Amino acid sequence: MEPQRRNGSSSIPSTATGRWGSRAISLGILALCFALYLVALPPAFVHNDEAHGAIALIYNLPDTLRAVAQDSHPPLYYVLLWGWLRLAPHPFALKFVSPFFALLALAFTYRLVKAAAGPRMAALAMLLLGLNPLFFALATIGRMYTMAIACSALGAWQARRGRDREWLLSAWGLTLTHFYGAFFLLTQRLLVRGPRSWFREALLLALGLLPLLLWSIGALGPSLAHTVRTLTRIPVRPTPLEVLGNLMGALGIGIGANGSLGWIGAGVTALGIGAAISPQTRRLGLAMVIPVGIGLALTARFPFYAARYFSPILPFYVWALAVGWRRRWRWILAPLYLILGIYGIGRTWTAYANAPIYVEAQRELYATLHALAHPADRFAFHGYWNQAEMALFYPETRPRLMALEDLSNPRERLPEPTWLIGVTFFQELYRPVAEALARQGPFDRHAWYPMAEIFRFVPWPDVPSWQPIHIRFEDGILLEAVALPDPVAEPRGTVRVGLRWQAEHPIARRYVVFAHLWDDAGRYRAGTDREPEPPTAMWEAGSPITQTIAIAVPPFLPAGRYRVMVGLYEPAGSGWRRLRTETGADAVPIGSVEIHPLKGITRIRTVPFLETSYRPGRALPNGITLLESEAWHTEIDGVPRWRVHILWRADQAMGDDTHRLLLRFPNGTVVTLTPPEGWFPGARSAGEIVAEIWEWGELLAPGRYEVFWEGGGLFPLLTFRVPPRGYQWNYDWIFLNRLPW
């Protein structure tokens, strides 16, 4: 196969001017594409998968490899990240790896095609690759695919030049970067020129696959059950023909297309491939069909349907187009491909700028954990990727992060407050641990997020001090004794309450117990409502029932003394009616707790690309320092909402903090955001640190919104944009996309 003799091109420039001209063109294309990728690199993660690489930040190298094996990935990309992120531990550094390897992939593709068809065809192939919308999408997302593409092009070039030892290294690099790389080794060997020994070729292929085989035996065996369980729950199960359409659509117009445009892109891709078929490209075409055919065959059993899995084919694809198009087709199809590619790049860029709600909700979850957790709390993550993301966004929490498996024994008493973050996709894996922890101590926080369920469990003292109280409620319920192990607490901490109940006679109804903190004005400031275990309807007359409750102290609660109030009420179906005591009270005080202000040095986190008039860490003229301010769209307990997080410090004593947050709509309308539950004005001491989460529960129209602080003046905090409605983006399957542009 010597396609370089067609089309009048030569593999060697005829003059020094020609050599310098071809170098200038190729370097210009490289510089243009690399600059495009850097400019388009999204400031935030556009998909949850991107943050998987952050596991290299929280684990040592052996533990990183174990985590990679658990998620069924080859190790090379993560080993590289482990070293790179030790030098530059920043989200941008994680994402920069993709454009860097995209640059190498372009250079290796140029060398490959130049050796086969000369510099002109190589420059065209490199331009087609650089402006291919699928390649652009992979070059601007923090994943391993551009590394696999670079290894694929390098290996093909080394195979054509007969450098078998160097080819083995690139083969190991390709297969240990992505499992689908194994399908492309035969493709590379089919491009070897001249006579060859089939035995030698088989031996080289076996050696090329050996490291991957050894990794798979050691890594995939323990994680195989988890992988199979995950795959069986993926709802999209396309046919191989549909998978081929998804691949061709992504090649033509990118992963930012919707269903109808995807078929247009697939049609243009098919037209270009058809025009490139010729006797000179027959072997190259056969080499391309083999890995695609193997991948399509796998989709008949497993849902490996994403176009990115086939990304190592891109160097061969643009090679076939550049060399196979005849002159008249080249003048028509090359501009068509480039125009469609630029359009697809624009759509992908826009899709990345409007990240899906899942990514926003995950990001808001980590911000909530950071805002609500006490500095001594631990975090036990069921999903190692969630643990990695938390470490990436909030590095100061790394010493307190742990995997769910690292809980020494959930049946033993907790040594300190512990958050459990479970992946709702696998409730059967983390729920038993949550139930075991609940038997060792109460939980004061619980919420459902998209794809996550969170708890905070609080240890109960071994020998609490019980005080007799003897209060009789309606329906023959007696409160005999109480325990308050926490006379002093801090914001983000907890107040533990012990209650000993007794029934004078069998109780027909089920009641819910509440334990609340009230201020001096008799206002609710925080609390927990929990049904006893066993329920009141199962209590036996005369038998004592011990109930432990934990009240989460809000991160905004002003310092002062608060009364602990308890009582019972009927559940929702009975109208929430509270039971009364013999004196007619529907809530009784059982003690008080002193809340001390939370002070100390808080890390001022730089938020890249944040649109704000007052950057985090800047002092506002009203005597406070804004440490953090961000806004996200999320869903909590099944209810969609917009949440604004602020973290601020009082630089001077404030007699009465009466601020509020305002939201200005694109049309100029200004509304007040809903404050956190239990938020009221209060005094602040100098140096006190306050975390608040304000909400807007109604639907926001697309556009640009501004958040202001009103208090001691009116100060802009941040801006955020709401994407167009009807937005649904899936980077696996373009035919699920619903994009309103």
- pLDDT tens digits, one per residue of 185-226: 999 999 888 788 889 999 999 999 999 999 988 777 666 666
Instruction: Identify the residue with better confidence: 48 or 242.
Output: 242
State which amino acid sits at residue 718.
L
Note whether 418 and 494 are same-domain residues. Answer: no
What phi, psi does 518 have (nearest 5°)? Answer: -115, 145
Instruction: Identify the residue with better confidence: 321 or 741.
Output: 321
Is residue 622 within 8 Å of residue 712, measured between CB atoms? yes
User: What tokens were used for 685?
Assistant: 């001491």
- Tell me if 409 is assigned to some domain: yes
- Tell me if 235 is assigned to some domain: yes
User: What tokens were used for 222?
Assistant: 């323990």
Q: Provide the percentage of residues in the chain whose pLDDT is more than 70.
A: 91
CA 385 to chain centre: 8
DSSP state letter for 258: -
- Tell me if 510 is assigned to some domain: yes
Is residue 665 within 8 Å of residue 703, measured between CB atoms? yes
Note whether 452 and 499 are same-domain residues. Answer: no
Mean pLDDT of 433-459: 92
Is residue 634 within 8 Å of residue 641, measured between CB atoms? yes
Cβ burial, residue 601 (10 Å; 0-12/13-18/19+) = exposed
- Tell me if 576 is assigned to some domain: yes
State which amino acid sits at residue 522.
G
Cα 513 to Cα 367, 529, 547: the distances in Å are: 30, 6, 9
Note whether 526 and 624 are same-domain residues. Answer: no
Per-residue pLDDT at 676 exceeds 90: yes
Note whether 91 and 156 are same-domain residues. Answer: yes
Note whether 472 and 581 are same-domain residues. Answer: yes
Is residue 4 within 8 Å of residue 121, measured between CB atoms? yes
User: What tokens were used for 666?
Assistant: 């694109």
Q: Which helix (H) or strand (E) holds 49?
A: none
- Supply the pTM of this predicted model: 0.80
At residue 11, the pLDDT reads 42
> Which of helix, strand or coil describes residue 145?
helix
Q: Render the burial of 722-740: b for 16+ CB within 10 Å, e for the rest.
A: bbeeebebbbbbbbebebe
Domain-ending residue, one of 595, 629, 664: 595
At residue 603, the pLDDT reads 47
A 10 A CB-CB count for 598 gives 22
Q: Which residue has the tokens 């009221």?
A: 680
Instruction: Identify the residue with better confidence: 529 or 19.
Output: 529
At residue 2, the pLDDT reads 41
User: pLDDT tens digits for 250-262?
Assistant: 999 999 988 888 9
Note whether 540 and 688 are same-domain residues. Answer: no
Distance CA 138, CA 145 (A): 6
What phi, psi does 470 have (nearest 5°)? Answer: 55, 75
- Tell me if 636 is assigned to some domain: yes
Per-residue pLDDT at 602 exceeds 50: no
Structural domain of residue 508, as residue ranges? 467-595
Note whether 72 and 197 are same-domain residues. Answer: yes
At residue 413, the pLDDT reads 72
Distance CA 277, CA 263 (A): 21
Cis amide prior to 534 (ω within 30 degrees): yes
DSSP state letter for 578: B
Note whether 435 and 529 are same-domain residues. Answer: no
User: What tokens were used for 617?
Assistant: 């860490």
Is residue 588 within 8 Å of residue 564, measured between CB atoms? no
Domain-ending residue, one of 292, 327, 353: 353
HSE at residue 248, side-chain half, CA atoms within 13 A, is: 20
3-class secondary structure for 549-566? Answer: EEEECCCCCCCEEEEEEE
Contacts (Cβ under 8 Å, ≥6 apart) of 598: 490, 491, 492, 555, 688, 689
Question: How many residues make up the chain in this entry?
Answer: 741
Of 209-223, 307-321, 377-391, 544-558, the least confident: 209-223
Distance CA 255, CA 127 (A): 19
Distance CA 267, CA 248 (A): 8
Distance CA 639, CA 448 (A): 10
Note whether 510 and 577 are same-domain residues. Answer: yes
Q: Which residue has the tokens 């955001």?
A: 673
Note whether 428 and 483 are same-domain residues. Answer: no
Is residue 1 within 8 Å of residue 280, measured between CB atoms? yes
Q: Provide the percentage of residues in the chain whose pLDDT is more than 90.
A: 58
- Tell me if 231 is assigned to some domain: yes
Of 8-17, 120-129, 545-554, 714-723, the least confident: 8-17
At residue 19, the pLDDT reads 66
Instruction: Identify the residue with better confidence: 187 or 353.
Output: 187
Distance CA 686, CA 727 (A): 45
Per-residue pLDDT at 1 exceeds 70: no
Note whether 275 and 403 are same-domain residues. Answer: no
Q: ∠ CA(500), CA(503), CA(507), 5° rounding? A: 130
A 10 A CB-CB count for 495 gives 27
Contacts (Cβ under 8 Å, ≥6 apart) of 228: none
At residue 16, the pLDDT reads 53
Mean residue pLDDT across the chain: 87
- Tell me if 727 is assigned to some domain: no
At residue 366, the pLDDT reads 92
Per-residue pLDDT at 3 exceeds 60: no
User: pLDDT tens digits for 495-521?
Assistant: 999 999 999 999 999 999 999 999 999
Is residue 11 within 8 Å of residue 115, measured between CB atoms? yes
Per-residue pLDDT at 600 exceeds 70: no
Note whether 213 and 249 are same-domain residues. Answer: yes
Domain-ending residue, one of 404, 427, 457: 457
At residue 607, the pLDDT reads 36
At residue 384, the pLDDT reads 79
Distance CA 198, CA 200 (A): 5
Number of domains observed in the structure of the chain: 4
Q: Which domain CATH number covers 483?
A: 2.70.50.60
